[in-house]
Amino acid sequence: MKNNEIVVRIPPSPTGYFHVGRARTALFNYLFAKKNGGKIVFRIEDTDKERSKREFEEDIVESLKWLGITYDEGPFRQSERNDIYRESIQKMIKNGSAYISEESEGSNKEVVRFKNPGGKIKFEDIIRGEVEMEIDDLKDFIIAKNIDEPLYHLTVVVDDFLMGVTHIIRGDDGISNTPRQILLQEAIGAPRPKYAHVPLILAPDKSKMSARHGAVSLRDFREAGYLPEAIVNFLGLLGFNPGGEREIYKMSELIEVFDLSRVQKGGAVFNTEKLDWINKEHIKLLSEKERNETIKKYLEKNGFKNPNPKIFPIIFEHISKWGDIDKMTREGELDFYFKTPEYETHLLFWKGKEDKETTKKHLNWILEKISTVDFESVESAKNLIFDYATEQGRGEVLWPLRVALSGKEKSPDPFTLLYVLGSVESKKRIENAINKLS
């Protein structure tokens, strides 16, 4: 089933944390390779010694792993392959396709330039169709600072050739590099791979998504508490759609339906709301156990020791990503589960109607009613009170009860609160409320 004809590559340069755009390109490469039984080569393009950092390389490796994008070969580091590039440069100089050029500007007085034949370069792009570009204004572009310091175009072409890369699936912003690389391929006698330039991921203002637009690196999303499967789902469907109306896909399902020729031509705006929705859908797909464990972990991280497991499903209902738990904590939305709430007395009144006696009456009724029982379920709490509430006016009874228990204008329903808090704590809070009214 292995199709050894197909080889793709994932070639990040470790000059920053792994960017979502690059992640998506990596994902498309992965999907394409897996779909067609091809091979994936992972190559670190760290020829720029100034900007390349191990920290970034590690981040990229980790991010790929987090997403579930695996590779068959590598990582290779271009910085460790100088012998290979040197040989190519020398060969090109020898056959006249490159030459050492004396410079009056720049930081080196001699560089290696490629002899540009000029004219036009035409190539076939799987996504865009036929593309033709003029190359005259490329001049004799530089392929190495010197014989031991090769530059991007040269290293890419040499490596793609040596690693047997058949399909180059990369971001749209690299399309203008293609003619240069084709020229180089011809000079070293490499076959021309097939190209597919995927459109860019755009910020809401339609410009290329970059750091000034907020969260752009995978680690940002990881830290915000997104699920990797949601990121994969979202990115996989950004600029690609298999047709049909399905929105939620797992990696394996994405592989099945992936088709490079269905990739969109235009850029796609990164829509965080949709990502959040997709993330929530994937949280729903988790097992209850897995979900609860993560919620517990986040609660503890936020300083809530030994959280009551009864609140896990409530929290689940209110979040679209784990990081929302951090936010809820910060905004004090969770405090009432753990300690007696503080609130303005006025909040106790249904629709702001300052009727102390009635409010007290209802609260007292409930207090008495619950003093002898404990709640086995939300239902049992409801059964105890609901008929009375219906008779007396649901808002009149239920609103003050809810406020007494939560101290909040917005919270889960009072029966759930009763069940979660238990009768002892509930009684205490209701008594509190009654005291406030006296």
- Rounded to a whole number of angstroms, the minimum distance from the CB of residue 4 to RNA is 27
Nearer to RNA, 2 or 342 (CB): 342
CB-nearer residue toward RNA: 90 or 207: 207
Nearer to RNA, 71 or 399 (CB): 399
| Helix (H) or strand (E) run with residue 266 in it | none
d(CA 113, CA 138): 11
Burial of 134 (0-12, 13-18, 19+ CB in 10 A): exposed
Interacting residues with RNA between 330 and 349 (CB under 7 A): none
- The torsion angles phi and psi of 131, rounded to 5 degrees, stand at -125, 135
Does residue 112 contact residue 142 with C-beta atoms inside 8 Å?
yes
Q: Which of residues 195-234 bind RNA (CB under 7 A)?
A: 199-200, 202, 205-208
Per rule CB under 7 A, is residue 386 in the interface with RNA? yes
Q: Where on the phi/psi map is residue 393: left (φ > 0), alpha (ψ -120 to 50), or beta? A: left
Tell me the site size for RNA, rule CB under 7 A. Answer: 78
Q: Does position 266 bind RNA by CB under 7 A? A: yes
25 binds RNA per the rule CB under 7 A: no
CA-based nearest residue to 433, from 337, 360, 353: 360
Sequence-distant (6+) residues with CB within 8 A of 170 are 25, 195, 196, 197, 198
Do 256 and 189 contact (CB within 8 A), yes or no?
no
* Pairing outcome for strands 110-114 and 98-102: antiparallel
Please report how close the Cβ of residue 1 comes to RNA at its closest, in angstroms: 25
Query: Cβ of residue 225: shortest distance to RNA, in angstroms?
Result: 16
**415 and 367 Cβ atoms separated by less than 8 Å:** no
Q: Which of 32, 45, 167, 360 forms a contact with RNA (CB under 7 A)? A: 45
Token output for 225: 């508490």
Q: Which of residues 78-137 bind RNA (CB under 7 A)?
A: 103, 105-109, 111, 128-129, 131-134, 137
Site for RNA in 395-424 (CB under 7 A): 395, 398-399, 402, 408-414
Q: Check residue 327 for interaction with RNA (CB under 7 A).
A: no
306 vs 391 by CB, closer to RNA: 391
In whole angstroms, the minimum distance from the beta carbon of 395 to RNA comes to: 4
The residue (of 65 and 262) whose beta carbon lies closer to RNA is: 262
321 binds RNA (CB under 7 A): no
Regarding 265 and contact with RNA (CB under 7 A), the answer is yes
60 contact partners, CB below 8 Å, separation of at least 6 = 12, 14, 17, 18, 44
Binding-site string for RNA from residue 148 to residue 177, where x marks contact by CB under 7 A and - marks none: -x-xxx------------------xxxxxx
